[in-house]
Amino acid sequence: MTRAKSMDPAAERETRELYRQLLEAWDKRNARDFALLFALDGGIVGFDGTQVFGQTEVGAHLSEIFSHHQTARYVSIVREVRSLTEDATILSAVAGMVPPNKDDIDPAVNAVQTMVAAKKAGAWKVALFQNTPAALHGRPDTAKKLTEELRFALRKQGAKP
């Protein structure tokens, strides 16, 4: 794999911050704040494969989820942030979820997350957020290692519910 040219530190910092805000909005069950982080034509590919495009539609979709489900909160580890162009970046992460009223992640819903961010009118926005199950079929040792890594990240955060 050819490495991208040197990453602009400000773009990397802003991409990481955008991702942090996205997960924070999810954790707070705030569909409006979640959606406002997206470009007007941004989209999501959910854990179950659902595709939703458009900032308004993303907000409506999340409102529906939050009104019908007690969602778990995220614990994540950013693996990489790369520059695609001057105004586009891609962030790769892994994430675990801590169910409500629990203090440990549920390994069954570990995920690989990818976020494409684009700078529009001077602000970084989510162009696409994809949340893929980290099933790791046939590789139980790899799945266990990922779960332990996410548990370590959770302990580092102080395991706050």
pLDDT in tens, 69-128: 999 999 999 999 999 999 999 999 999 999 999 999 999 999 999 999 999 999 999 999
Domains and CATH numbers, the chain: 9-157 (3.10.450.50)
What is the distance between the terminal CA atoms of the chain, rounded to a whole angstrom? 39
Give the burial class of 131: count Cβ atoms within 10 A of its Cβ; 0-12 exposed, 13-18 middle, 19 or more buried: buried
pTM: 0.92
Is the separation of the CB atoms in 37 and 18 below 8 Å?
Answer: yes
